[in-house]
Amino acid sequence: MARVVLVPRTRTRYICAVRLPETLLRKRRRLYSQAEIARIVGVAQTVVSELERDCDRVRPETLRAYLSVLGWRVRISPKDRRTGGE
């Protein structure tokens, strides 16, 4: 399971720090070019490139759309402050 960290950018916007698993990147390369998946997701190809390079400036909506195209789900859950787990 890939772990994603949401970092507050402002009070209402978050960015993701994410490293995608190599199996996911291989699947994307097999199915779509970066330009094709960018068009489907509705972002520039450079955004997809940054996302796949271990970028720390990805919007959660972009990550969710990218993963959805590849058949992955995103689950966001709060961390339990008492135990440190989810």
Element (H, E) at 29: helix 22-31
Identify the band that residue 3 occupies on the pLDDT scale cut at 50, 70 and 90: low
Domain ranges of the chain: 21-69
Instruction: Determine the pLDDT at residue 65.
Output: 93
Tens digits of residue pLDDT in 4-58 = 555 555 555 566 666 788 888 999 999 999 999 999 999 999 999 988 886 677 7
C-alpha span between 27 and 74 (Å, rounded): 17
Instruction: Determine the pLDDT at residue 20.
Output: 83
C-alpha span between 21 and 9 (Å, rounded): 24
Identify the band that residue 75 occupies on the pLDDT scale cut at 50, 70 and 90: confident
User: 4 phi and psi, to 5 degrees?
Assistant: -120, 135
**Residues 50 and 57: beta-carbon distance below 8 Å:** yes
C-alpha span between 59 and 40 (Å, rounded): 16
